[in-house]
Amino acid sequence: MSQALVNIEALRVTFQGGRKPVRAVDGVNLQVKSGEVLALIGESGSGKSVTLRSVLRLHPARHTTMEGRIEVAGQDVLAMDGATLSSYRGRVASMIFQEPLLALDPVYSLGDQIVESILRHEPLTRIQAQARALELFERVRIPSPERRLQAYPHEMSGGMRQRAMIALALACRPQLLLADEPTTALDATVQIQILLLLRELQRELGLSVIFVTHDIGAAVEVADRMAVMYAGRIVEQGPVKTLMTQPAHPYTQALLRSRAHGAMDKGMRLVTIPGSPPDLSNLPPGCAFADRCAMAQPACLEGAPQPQTLAQEHEVRCFRAQAC
């Protein structure tokens, strides 16, 4: 059985600076095994990207308080000093950002950016680093790779920029790949191509991946396990097949009902989740989803439910599950 490459325990991320502190992540526990793909899904503002960026400690330290434990490949990320953190980023864990045009440096060619990353982490010559950059562009199937290495980000299409972003993320052969909604800004055809490419590279390189998305269909395509976030908490997690066929939390059930699928008749209205997500600076004492849940009980308003294990690797945070 594969060992856990990523172990996140009781992670809490609080942002200061406004009138009230905002607890964007509230007691998250997650594990990712070697070679496994975990999808984090949920509505915007649920804490998915905050959790992901915490693994690289990308939040501004001045306005952020992080508690709990993040361990990646045996290293305590929250205890790292500046030099160790710089070496860890890119070499052990790397990220594919949602919008590569903003993540890539506009004044350097794509090839120069990849070569710089390789030289920062590995004892190679510039010629060797350039050869690896070319190999990476070929691996992610960028046409005319020699010429494209000389291109600047604005000279590439959205799909090609995302492929270049993937090449940059893989440049130093990390063990963990963090993908923050990497297909959101792309059209449907290119989205499928990028998803298939990511899954192929993950299997070929044996990568562990945490994939953040609000698209359940994308999660099903690439993930082995799925974790559902709401108001900064994991409300349900387990194998993709289990959550798709036997969702236990009312929020997971509502997400699945709200998506378009092949069985829908043309012209039918999508089922929506009533209400809005709660204010993270003023969370209720009970279950954060209670105000929007048709199955809420009095206990749901009084205290937060604890995680319950329903089956192997299937965990849910709901009072209804506790009563079963």
CB 213 within 8 A of CB 226: no
Task: Provide block-wise average pLDDT over 10 residues at a time, the chain (324 residues).
Answer: 85 90 95 96 93 96 95 97 96 93 94 96 96 96 96 94 95 96 84 91 95 89 95 96 94 87 64 89 91 90 90 90 58
Q: Which residues on neighbouring strands pair with residue 266, listed in sequence order?
A: none
Strand order, beta sheet including 75-76: 22-33, 4-15, 64-72, 75-76
- Per-residue confidence (pLDDT) for residue 322, from 0 to 100: 58
Q: From 3.65.10.10, 3.20.20.140, 3.40.190.10, 3.40.50.300, which CATH number describes the 4-92+174-323 domain?
A: 3.40.50.300
Q: Tokens representing 183?
A: 């297909």
CA angle 237, 242, 244 (to 5 degrees): 95
CB 5 within 8 A of CB 209: no
Alpha-carbon distance 143 to 133, whole Å? 14
Alpha-carbon distance 274 to 292, whole Å? 6
Q: Which residues on neighbouring strands pair with residue 72, listed in sequence order?
A: 6, 75
Q: Which residues on neighbouring strands pair with residue 78, listed in sequence order?
A: none
- Per-residue confidence (pLDDT) for residue 2, from 0 to 100: 56
Alpha-carbon distance 99 to 119, whole Å? 25
Give the predicted TM-score (pTM) of the model.
Answer: 0.92
Q: How far from 8 is each of 11, 32, 157, 192, CA to CA, in Å?
A: 7, 9, 36, 30
Pinpoint the residues of the chain covered by CATH 3.40.50.300: 4-92+174-323
